Amino acid sequence: MTALADLLRRRIAATGPLTLADYMADCLLHPDHGYYATRDPFGAAGDFTTAPEISQMFGELLGLCLAQAWLDQGAPAPFTLTELGPGRGTLMADLLRATRAVPGFHTAARVTLVEASATLRGIQRRTLGDHPVTWADTVEALPDAPLFLIANEFFDALPIRQFTRHMNGWAETVVGLDGDRLTLGRTPPAPLAALDHRLSDTAPGEIVEICPAAAPIMGRIGGLIARHGGAALVIDYGGWHSRGDTFQALQDHRPTDPLAAPGHADLTAHVDFEPLARAAAPARASRMIEQGALLQRLGIDQRAARLAQSLTGAAQESHLAAHRRLTDRAEMGSLFKALAVYPPHLPPPPGFDA
């Protein structure tokens, strides 16, 4: 039994079942026992692998996309260059290396990483070497300035609430106790104003999820971009008006029971891009596009061919496999989607459609 499981059991016994959001928040970010607070979960030795850990091309191409958007807006200086949930810092390192030759970009950039985990902040510091960087706890702390931002697999880590549709209301999935064991249950159905708009596109028995923290975060980002200029690129797995049970746990690269070992498995849910796009107003949101298509529009095939020329044998094989993994529709290419947020009256960043 984990220490966190024990804490959660006592909390449920004292105050009743927890929403999935409360459960996820403790499992991921509890300061002493939370998943991200206690480890480096990435890579072959960890629990899961993300696009920047698969290939340097991911951070390079998205970095150049942001830099081009910055040039197209007249190279505002200074500006905030932000990543949400930077993990090991690999994406930001690749982005900074790829944009070194963009005149004025580094001098004008104030790099601010939004990261909740002290452990991961330490790893990001090491990855980024002596590049000047500051950290923020939340997007509320970002300054009133032009904002160029990237978030890969950040929104999927935010806590969700999950509801099952009934005739005229919604039953919420909760974590309760069966004797000593954590177990999933449902509240009695009741109307919920936040889901009124889903009554028309769902039928009884269907499941929908909402991510209460996502809209305020996107609202802050959209507000800064509309007022001061900038662009935000959001990449994650999910869809548009998603439905169904997407709450999942990964441990050692395999799906596992999300209740089995709280604090020891990564918990995520698919991202619904529709409310994210809506929350960006008064900034504009691009159309949602598949990751594979976006990377191809940004030139990944040419970049991959260039890099392949300088590699041989196993290194070349693994480089080609990484290219496929990022772009192939059977791999990450279509499961992962991208959305850009940009100022009203301007075209979207390169690769995105209005």
Minimum gap (Å) between residue 343 Cβ and ligand SAH: 24
Q: Which residue of this chain has its Cβ atom nearest to ligand SAH in the complex?
A: 85
Q: Which is nearer to ligand SAH, 36 or 79 (CB)?
A: 36
Q: Which is nearer to ligand SAH, 21 or 120 (CB)?
A: 120
Minimum gap (Å) between residue 91 Cβ and ligand SAH: 6
Minimum gap (Å) between residue 192 Cβ and ligand SAH: 23
Q: Which is nearer to ligand SAH, 170 or 336 (CB)?
A: 336
Q: Which is nearer to ligand SAH, 63 or 343 (CB)?
A: 63
Minimum gap (Å) between residue 116 Cβ and ligand SAH: 4
* Tokens, residue 292: 């594979």
Bond preceding residue 188 cis, omega within 30 of 0? no
Residues that bind ligand SAH (CB under 6 A): 28-29, 36, 42, 50, 52-53, 85-87, 91, 114-117, 120, 152-154, 157
Minimum gap (Å) between residue 124 Cβ and ligand SAH: 8
Q: Which is nearer to ligand SAH, 62 or 289 (CB)?
A: 62
**φ, ψ of residue 20 in degrees (nearest 5):** -60, -35
Q: Which is nearer to ligand SAH, 95 or 171 (CB)?
A: 95
Minimum gap (Å) between residue 214 Cβ and ligand SAH: 10
**φ, ψ of residue 15 in degrees (nearest 5):** -125, 5
Minimum gap (Å) between residue 136 Cβ and ligand SAH: 9
Minimum gap (Å) between residue 180 Cβ and ligand SAH: 29
Q: Which is nearer to ligand SAH, 29 or 346 (CB)?
A: 29
Rounded Cα distance, 73 and 136, in Å:
25
Q: Which is nearer to ligand SAH, 53 or 272 (CB)?
A: 53
| CA-based nearest residue to 170, from 184, 155, 156, 188 | 188
Q: Identity (one letter) of the amino acid at 98?
A: A
